[in-house]
Copies of this chain bind each other. A is one copy, B any other.
Amino acid sequence: MLDLDGLDFTKGHGLVTVVAQDARTGDVLMVAHADREALERTLATGEMHYRSRTRGLWHKGATSGNTQRVVALRADCDGDTVLARVEKAGPACHSGDESCFGPGRWDGLAALDATLADRAARALAPDEKPGYT
Binary CB contact string for chain A from 116 to 127 against chain B (1 if under 8 A, 0 otherwise): 000000000000
* Interface positions of A from 73 to 103, Cβ below 8 Å from B: 74-78, 81, 83, 93-95, 97, 100-102
Q: Is the CB–CB distance between B77 and A94 below 8 Å?
A: yes
How many identical subunits does the complex contain?
2
Residues of A within 8 A of B (CB): 17, 19, 21, 25-28, 30-31, 74-78, 81, 83, 93-95, 97, 100-102, 105
Contact residue among B78, B83, B102 (Cβ-Cβ distance under 8 Å from A28) = B83
Q: How far apart are A98's CB and chain B's nearest CB, in angstroms?
A: 12
Can you give 8 A-B contacts (C-beta < 8 A)? Answer: A19-B19, A19-B28, A19-B31, A21-B28, A26-B27, A26-B105, A76-B100, A81-B100
